[in-house]
Amino acid sequence: MDHSATTPVAPEVLDAMVPYFNIKYGNASSLHSFGREAREALEESRVTVAGVLKAKPDEIIFTSGGTESDNLAIKGIAHRYQDKGKHIITTSIEHPAVLEVCRALTKAGFQVTYLPVNKEGLVELSSLESAIRDDTILISVMHANNEIGTIQPIDEIGKLAKEKDIFFHTDAVQSVGKIPTDVDKMGVDLLSLSAHKLYGPKGIGALYVRTGTRLQNIIQGGGHEKNLRSGTENVPGAVGLATAAKMAAESIDDEAKRLTRLRDWLAKAILDNIKEAWINGSMEKRLPGNLNFSFRYVEGESLLLFLDSKGIAASTGSACSSKKLEPSHVLRSLGLKPEECHGSLRIAMGRSNNQGQVEYVANAIQEAVARFRAMSPLGQK
């Protein structure tokens, strides 16, 4: 129930990768046959990843993952186009890999506008429109949110960005493989993705860079990946990413339907049986497997530990922020009070989950909430 934090590597993905660790281990930049064999696998992987995004192969840059892709996109545009302007627009609910990069750029003299979201967790086009300035060089809005699963109106934002001649980046780490991601329909110039969120290995991802979009590199060296990302190519990783992305794309409609059914069943089971509970974020514009509950008078951390003792892995907020014990910036942006954020629970279903498990989880959550409320002075009303 925590597939938004990471996913297991699919057996087919592992099988495809293994030869590139030992038998076909060449350096993709070597000119001999071992190198050429590795290069071929790398370029084939690029074609596959491009196909999934409806992009061209030479628009795909392999990186070490979602965090690096976000860094390269945002710093890359900021430093390359700072003579045009130093204003960036993003949202208040982005992943730290975007928010912290923007924060760092602020120290380097850039100005950042953080768009609010409405109660549904969605960016309003009107607020974006009024945030755009003459010196805006980049808009970065995530496709699907990692905590509440809300899906932003990327196509419309893309149209607006194009009209105003502003580069548009989307962090699509949570959406690739779960919902369709077509770079032309979305109107994006840059798109980040990561393999380990879609049943691929950790430590590999990609950045889509639309032809004509120039970036300042952030890792210098031997000039790999069109000089945008130096370092000996991670061939097994690229093969793993490509295999995982292709598999996810092949089953995307069926899996989305299946997960939506499980999601809606669990949502109803919880809301019908537990009082003073609600779901954060829009139910319509939402990832198939995501639910984010709030339970009044209950601590999210206690809930998690109880579920863990029942063999259920879930999360409060995102895996990245849950150690900080600060209320989630995403839930705060929805207008929740700090104490309401603490009683939240993220359920992120994926390939391995089925109806039997969802019923088990529904029972466990009911038991946990009843128990913690019985112990809480406020919960006994």
Query: Which residues are at the interface with ligand PLP (CB under 6 A)?
Result: 65-67, 70, 95, 97, 142, 146, 171, 173-174, 194, 196-197, 205
CB of residue 117 to ligand PLP, shortest distance in Å:
15
Minimum CB separation from ligand PLP for residue 286, in Å?
15
C-beta of 194 vs 322, nearer to ligand PLP: 194
Output the six-digit token pair for 141: 């809005």
Report the distance separating Cα 336 and Cα 27, nearest Å: 51
303: Cβ contacts below 8 Å, ≥ 6 apart: 295, 314, 316, 343, 345, 365, 368, 369, 372
Please identify, using beta-carbon distances, which residue of 26 and 149 lies nearer to ligand PLP.
149
Catalytic residues: 320
Nearer to ligand PLP, 150 or 368 (CB): 150
Residue 248 C-beta-side C-alpha neighbours within 13 Å: 32
CB of 109 to ligand PLP, least distance (A): 25
Nearer residue to ligand PLP within complex by CB, 64 or 86: 64
Give the residue with the Cβ less far from ligand PLP, 70 or 233.
70
Handedness of CA 360, 364, 365, 366 (dihedral sign): positive
CB of residue 158 vs ligand PLP: minimum separation in angstroms?
A: 18
Q: Which residue is nearest to ligand PLP (CB)?
A: 66
SS3 320: coil
Q: Taking the complex as a whole, how short is the minimal distance between the CB of residue 36 and ligand PLP, in angstroms?
A: 29
* Separation of alpha carbons 31 and 185, rounded Å: 39
Helix or strand (DSSP H, E) at 257: helix 252-273
Tell me the C-alpha distance between 166 and 78, whole Å: 12
- Name the region of 318 (left: φ>0; alpha: ψ -120 to 50; beta: rest): beta
Give the integer Cα–Cα distance in Å for 131 and 90. 10
